[in-house]
């Protein structure tokens, strides 16, 4: 007990000292945007950690009406590109309600924690079928110009934008929908089954092509929430494939012998593997072929000068314009470069080498550093609310397997008893984490929807979230986990109990290594022989999919009304078993076309009931009814927790170049729920005067 008190006194003293540093660093500075520091009182979160750069940004002079981007002018003049009016189509999407008409020009420098996958940039290039307005509530057109649904919610009709083009200048038409459905989703050579959403109701949806730009989906059962799912699917394998490009790699349209030869040249064996290698449309990364694949993004990758460095240029056929008719984006080029660790990123920040540091790289743990360097660097600290990032959450695996691929029956019996999860939660001193890691700026609590969500109830946020090691010990004693001479607990049969928390470090969030060390320390204090280990993300994902990870952490996104109702996978096992959630084995069962198939592990009856309620949420048309159903799930989880949440709400201190304009408004959500910056039209960001600070 003395050791615990000394450690706590040390952390308290360290927290106070660091908060003092924050207060000094956050004193008003002569920058274009006023900022305010987090309050120095360590037990209170500040009302406004910073003010967003956009709050007081000087409006740029309006550009002449409907001009050609200068970056493309020479190509247009030479005839290499058609004029803007022909490139954007007959009905481009007009981006409205921006701070100012932008100025063309400039390069955006970005950072990434992965040498191949664009973890830090996907949100600025994704183009979803539908999207949310900036209120986070209203679904609006995007790639799809319009849509209709019958009153029952079974028949959905859509229309594409006439004249809209892929990045290679080829038109986007209903043929790209037909090809995606018939020759990818429904081709058994390539895909065993369509995604569960496209077979909701027990059988694949019916797809009808109505004309060159219109099509219809009909489901076997009502799918009242389908529009919300369309806000998550981007161009590429998610929903549309460029038929004119992909047909050359499909045996239905190209001689199979020729395809096999092409495959061998790339060290592949079959045409199906070749097709998969060429289908690289996703916004997540840059495998071979990414430069050739046609895109709908505002920026397109044009070169890879070295490993981990991607260079981008504006898409000349991008289909969005501002209110004056100027083609977006305003920025001309992007430089996306890999950083091996947070120290490299911090050096780049201090040396003014980054123009946006996004939700995957920032953390309140480094807030004093950001503020200390803000006056002398080229950035300002934004004032946003995180729906990802620092929202570290603990996910016990409720179907653990051993490393040799066998069910860990002894641990399964313990973990599937809700007293185990309750004890794990009660053993954690959340406020100590808040003070020592986040400087008291977070609102701590249990795993549940964000407080602003329609689904939230105050009792969700407090359930089993107090620091009560005495009660945690009592629950563990009840489970028959007795303490040995070393103070560590054993299984009821006397065998050794160990509990290993595996994670992928800064891939999940910069604060994860420190927070996980604290978590296992708390568990050891109640007699759980816990350890923590950082593993490379791809290996960890494989171990998670195989159910070999006993417990992990992830950032608890999918917590706002933009995403919670379609992807509640951190709460119940609907998807994403390779990242986190209650159990990858239960996910496999839920998504299986035949749930009686050999090898599947069905969840207990109470979990199946929660999944059935989610199916009802998916089916109903009424939003009010959907919320009531969702609260049935959270009412149950309040008393029977599957996960251990730490943070209800935390600031997201994104960094932006001081000259960037048209940024998100203060106090908006930034994270996976908003698709990062995507909801706030990053294609309309611009440098005042066309150059960075």
- Reported as a single tens digit per residue, the pLDDT across 538-583 is 899 999 999 999 999 998 899 999 999 999 999 999 998 888 999 9
284: confidence class by pLDDT, cuts 50, 70, 90:
confident
CATH for 551? 3.10.105.10
pLDDT 10s digits, 407-436: 999 999 999 999 999 999 999 999 999 999
pLDDT of residue 11: 43
pLDDT of residue 392: 94
Looking at the fold, whether 576 and 664 belong to one and the same domain comes out as no
Share of the chain above pLDDT 70, in %: 89
pLDDT higher than threshold 90 for residue 16: no
CATH for 114? 3.40.190.10
Looking at the fold, whether 528 and 628 belong to one and the same domain comes out as yes
Residue 278 inside a domain? The answer is no
Residue 420 inside a domain? The answer is yes
pLDDT higher than threshold 90 for residue 123: yes
CA distance 273 to 656: 41
pLDDT 10s digits, 103-122: 999 999 999 888 878 888 99
Mean of all residue pLDDT scores within the chain: 89
pLDDT higher than threshold 50 for residue 52: no
Residue 666 inside a domain? The answer is yes
Q: Which of 218, 242, 266 is the last residue of a domain?
A: 242
Looking at the fold, whether 685 and 554 belong to one and the same domain comes out as no
Residue 396 inside a domain? The answer is yes
Q: What is the DSSP letter of 494?
A: S
CB within 8 Å of 353: residues ≥ 6 apart:
109
CA distance 657 to 352: 9
3-state secondary structure 134-199: CCCCCEEECCEEEEEECCCCCEEEEEECCCCECCCCCECCHHHHHHHHHHHHCCCCCCCCCCHHHH
Specify whether the CB–CB gap between 421 and 643 falls below 8 A. yes
User: H or E stretch including 588?
Assistant: helix 584-591
Q: Which of 188, 219, 242 is the last residue of a domain?
A: 242
Looking at the fold, whether 353 and 397 belong to one and the same domain comes out as no
CA distance 644 to 467: 13
- For range 436-453, the mean pLDDT: 95
Looking at the fold, whether 322 and 400 belong to one and the same domain comes out as no
Cα dist. 61→107, 434, 560 in Å?
A: 20, 44, 37
Residue 342 inside a domain? The answer is yes
Torsion angle (degrees, nearest 10) of CA 245, 249, 254, 260: 160
CATH for 136? 3.90.76.10
Residue 252 inside a domain? The answer is no
pLDDT higher than threshold 80 for residue 40: no
Ramachandran region of residue 385, left (φ > 0), alpha (ψ -120 to 50) or beta?
beta
Helix, strand or coil, per DSSP, at residue 459? helix
pLDDT 10s digits, 217-264: 999 999 999 999 999 998 666 889 999 999 999 999 999 999 999 999
pLDDT of residue 298: 97
Q: Give me the number of domains the chain comprises.
A: 3
Looking at the fold, whether 562 and 690 belong to one and the same domain comes out as no
Residue 266 inside a domain? The answer is no
Looking at the fold, whether 195 and 222 belong to one and the same domain comes out as yes
Q: What is the DSSP letter of 619?
A: H
CA distance 340 to 337: 10
CA distance 510 to 507: 8
Of the candidates 217, 273, 236, 41, the one whose C-alpha atom is nearest the C-alpha of residue 129 is 236
Q: Which of 242, 267, 294 is the last residue of a domain?
A: 242
Quote the domain boundaries for residue 541.
Answer: 392-649
User: H or E stretch including 414?
Assistant: helix 409-415
- For range 90-97, the mean pLDDT: 96
Residue 198 inside a domain? The answer is yes
Looking at the fold, whether 545 and 620 belong to one and the same domain comes out as yes
CB-count burial class (<10 Å; 0-12, 13-18, 19+) for 545:
middle
The tokens of 170 are what? Answer: 């080829």
Torsion angle (degrees, nearest 10) of CA 266, 267, 269, 273: -50
Looking at the fold, whether 615 and 668 belong to one and the same domain comes out as no
- For range 629-642, the mean pLDDT: 98
pLDDT of residue 58: 37
pLDDT of residue 283: 75
CA distance 550 to 543: 10
CA distance 686 to 343: 28
CA distance 433 to 647: 10
pLDDT 10s digits, 334-343: 999 998 888 9
pLDDT of residue 319: 98
CA distance 452 to 464: 21
CA atoms within 13 A on the CB side of 622: 5
CB within 8 Å of 312: residues ≥ 6 apart:
299, 300, 301, 302, 333, 334, 335, 336
Cα dist. 536→404, 511, 540 in Å?
A: 20, 16, 6
Looking at the fold, whether 384 and 350 belong to one and the same domain comes out as yes
Looking at the fold, whether 409 and 366 belong to one and the same domain comes out as no
pLDDT of residue 409: 96
Q: What is the DSSP letter of 128?
A: B
pLDDT of residue 13: 41
Of the candidates 509, 643, 620, the one whose C-alpha atom is nearest the C-alpha of residue 572 is 643
Looking at the fold, whether 544 and 433 belong to one and the same domain comes out as yes
CB within 8 Å of 229: residues ≥ 6 apart:
197, 566
């Amino acid at each position: 007990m003395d050791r615990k008190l000394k450690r706590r006194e040390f952390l308290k003293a360290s927290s106070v000292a660091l908060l003092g540093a924050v207060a000094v660093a956050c004193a008003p500075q002569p920058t274009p945007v006023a900022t305010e520091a987090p309050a120095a009182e360590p037990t209170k979160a500040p009302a406004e950690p910073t003010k967003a750069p956009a709050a007081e940004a000087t409006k740029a002079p309006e550009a002449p009406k409907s001009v050609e981007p200068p970056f493309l002018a020479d190509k247009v003049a030479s005839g290499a590109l058609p004029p803007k009016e022909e490139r954007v189509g007959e009905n481009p999407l007009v981006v409205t309600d921006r701070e100012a008409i932008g100025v063309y020009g400039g390069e955006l420098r970005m950072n990434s924690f992965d040498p191949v996958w664009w973890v830090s940039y996907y949100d600025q290039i994704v183009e979803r079928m539908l999207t949310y307005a900036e209120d986070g509530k209203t679904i609006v057109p995007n790639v799809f110009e319009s849509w209709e649904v019958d009153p029952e919610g079974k028949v959905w009709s859509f229309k594409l934008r006439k004249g809209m083009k892929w990045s290679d200048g080829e038109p986007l038409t209903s043929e790209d929908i037909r090809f995606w459905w018939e020759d990818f989703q429904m081709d058994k050579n390539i895909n065993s089954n369509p995604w569960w959403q496209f077979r909701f109701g027990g059988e694949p949806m019916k797809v009808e092509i109505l004309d060159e730009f219109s099509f219809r989906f009909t489901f076997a059962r009502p799918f009242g929430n389908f529009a919300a799912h369309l806000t998550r699917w981007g161009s590429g394998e998610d929903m549309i494939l460029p038929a004119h490009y992909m047909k050359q790699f499909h045996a239905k349209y190209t001689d199979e012998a020729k395809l096999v030869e092409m495959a061998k040249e790339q060290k592949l064996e079959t045409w199906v593997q070749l097709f998969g290698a060429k289908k690289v449309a996703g916004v997540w990364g840059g495998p071979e072929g990414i430069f050739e694949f046609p895109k709908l993004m505002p920026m397109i990758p044009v070169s890879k000068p070295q490993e981990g460095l991607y260079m981008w240029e504006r898409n000349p056929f991008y289909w969005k314009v501002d209110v004056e008719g100027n083609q977006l984006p305003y920025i001309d080029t992007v430089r996306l470069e890999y950083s091996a660790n947070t120290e490299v990123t911090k050096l780049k920040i201090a040396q003014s080498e980054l123009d946006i540091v996004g939700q995957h790289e920032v953390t309140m743990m480094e807030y004093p550093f950001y503020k200390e360097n803000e006056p002398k660097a080229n950035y300002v600290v934004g004032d946003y609310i995180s729906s990802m990032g620092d929202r570290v959450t603990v996910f016990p695996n409720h179907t653990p397997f051993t490393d040799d691929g066998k069910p860990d029956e002894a641990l399964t019996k313990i973990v599937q008893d809700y007293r185990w999860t309750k004890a794990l939660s009660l053993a954690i001193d959340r406020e100590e984490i808040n003070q020592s890691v986040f400087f008291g700026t977070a609102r701590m609590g249990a795993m549940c929807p964000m407080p602003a969500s329609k689904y939230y109830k105050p009792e969700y946020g407090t359930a089993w979230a107090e620091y009560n090691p005495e009660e945690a010990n009592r629950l563990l004693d009840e489970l028959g986990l007795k303490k040995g001479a070393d103070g560590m607990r054993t299984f009821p049969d006397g065998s050794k109990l160990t509990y290993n928390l595996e994670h992928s470090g800064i891939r999940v969030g910069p604060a994860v290594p420190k927070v996980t060390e604290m978590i296992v320390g708390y568990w050891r204090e109640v007699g759980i022989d816990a350890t923590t280990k950082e593993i490379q993300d791809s290996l960890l994902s494989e171990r998670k999919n195989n159910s070999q990870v006993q417990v992990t952490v992830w950032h608890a996104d999918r917590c706002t009304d933009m995403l919670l109702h379609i992807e509640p996978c951190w709460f119940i096992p609907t998807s994403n078993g390779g990242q986190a959630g209650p159990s990858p084995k239960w996910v496999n069962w839920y998504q299986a076309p035949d749930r009686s198939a050999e090898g599947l592990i069905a969840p207990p009856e109470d979990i199946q009931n929660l999944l059935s309620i989610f199916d009802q949420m998916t089916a109903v048309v009424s939003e009010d009814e959907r919320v009531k159903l969702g609260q049935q799930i959270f009412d149950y989880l309040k008393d029977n927790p599957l996960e251990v949440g730490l943070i209800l709400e935390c600031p997201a201190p994104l960094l932006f170049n001081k000259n960037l304009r048209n940024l998100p408004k203060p106090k908006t959500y930034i994270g996976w729920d908003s698709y990062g910056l995507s909801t706030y039209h990053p294609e309309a960001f611009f440098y005042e005067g066309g150059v960075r600070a």
